[in-house]
Amino acid sequence: MVYNTVLGIIQHEADAEDVAQEVFVQVYQSIGSFRGDAKLSTWLYRIAVTKALDHVKKRNRKKRWGKVYSLFGDKDESIHNAAPDFHHPGVQLDNKERAAVLFKALDQLPDRQKAVFVLSKLEGLPAKEIGEVMDMSAATVEGLMHRAKTNLRKLLEKYYSGE
Amino acid sequence: MKKKHHQEETAATLRSLDGAGRAGAGEFFFTRLQARLQQKGSSAWERVTGWIARPSIAIIGLCIILLLNSIIVIRQFESPVSGTDQATLQAFADEYKLQVPTVYDDDKVE
């Protein structure tokens, strides 16, 4: 559940494992502060989503700096592009290629839309629970999901028309 | 015709995650996690520095230091400038026999 969520957002298996470990380390260190007013799974999802989005932000920052460095002739080998061909291990074989295209489009969405889409599609959470995880109302979650789908549709149509 | 085909492709791609299974972490995930937790647990210094580096703790600490400094400076200014206390100086001079002997001292009857 933690790894699957993180992997959906990060789209890189090794990085997702590292971030999933960080999630468990944080859970271990701050279990005392867990008040119990939310479900443990909600708390876990919240930490996982926050850590994964932080990682994506850091990666994008590195990528931007990488571009700046490349202007001066420096090449940073450690910076890898997020999932140019990411294949989610849980996707059925006949959908692998389409899912890879979808993940590529998903990576271009704003953070909150991406998180809502992943929690809904990969984890199968209802809007109410996603709202608890992301500290927002179910209506807001539905709005974000709608916008995510609209944006994905636009990106995919652009992709297929340019193919 | 072409547009319809693109729309169908798009719709099929959007459905491609339906029924996807959960991805599981690698084989040695929990072994590595355990090792990481043990490593974290042993480094007390890391925890202490982490605690000190918390913004709230760092700001409170800085405020306390500034407050103590201000108190000391204010006290310095408030304390009266003590003039030369003649009585103390005389007592000190008597104690250590610091008077300059004069010719009249020889005439003094012991």
Inter-chain touch B22–A25, beta carbons under 8 Å? no
Confidence of residue B63 (pLDDT cuts 50, 70, 90): very high
DSSP letter, residue B44 = H
Q: Which of A10, A24, A50 is nearest to B33 (CA)?
A: A24
pLDDT at residue A82, as a whole number? 46
ipTM of the complex: 0.71
Inter-chain touch A4–B22, beta carbons under 8 Å? yes
Residue ranges of the domains in chain A? 2-161
pLDDT digits (tens, 9 = 90+) for A124-150: 888 888 998 888 898 998 999 999 989
Q: Taking the mean position of all CA atoms in its chain, how far away is CA A38? A: 22
Task: Give contacts of A 134-153 with B, CB under 8 A.
Answer: 149, 152-153
pLDDT, averaged across chain B: 80
Chain B nearest C-alpha distance from A43 (Å): 19
Domain A2-161 falls under CATH 1.20.140.160? yes
B85 or A140, which is more confident: A140
Half-sphere exposure of B38 (CA within 13 A, CB side): 6
pLDDT at residue A77, as a whole number? 47
pLDDT at residue A73, as a whole number? 65
Q: How many residues does chain A have?
A: 163
pLDDT digits (tens, 9 = 90+) for A19-60: 888 888 888 888 877 777 778 888 889 899 999 998 888 888
Q: Which of A2, A1, A3, A12 is nearest to A103 (CA)?
A: A12
Tell me: pLDDT of A81 over 60. no
Return d(Cα B6, Cα B12) in angstroms, integer: 10
Give the burial class of A149: count Cβ atoms within 10 A of its Cβ; 0-12 exposed, 13-18 middle, 19 or more buried: middle
Pick the residue of B1, B10, B43 with the most A CBs within 10 A to test the interface with A by mutation. B10
Which of A28, A88, A153 lies closest to B20 in CB terms? A88
Task: For residue B91, give the amino acid letter.
Answer: A
Return d(Cα B11, Cα B17) in angstroms, integer: 11
Report the predicted TM-score, pTM, of the whole model to 2 decimal places: 0.64
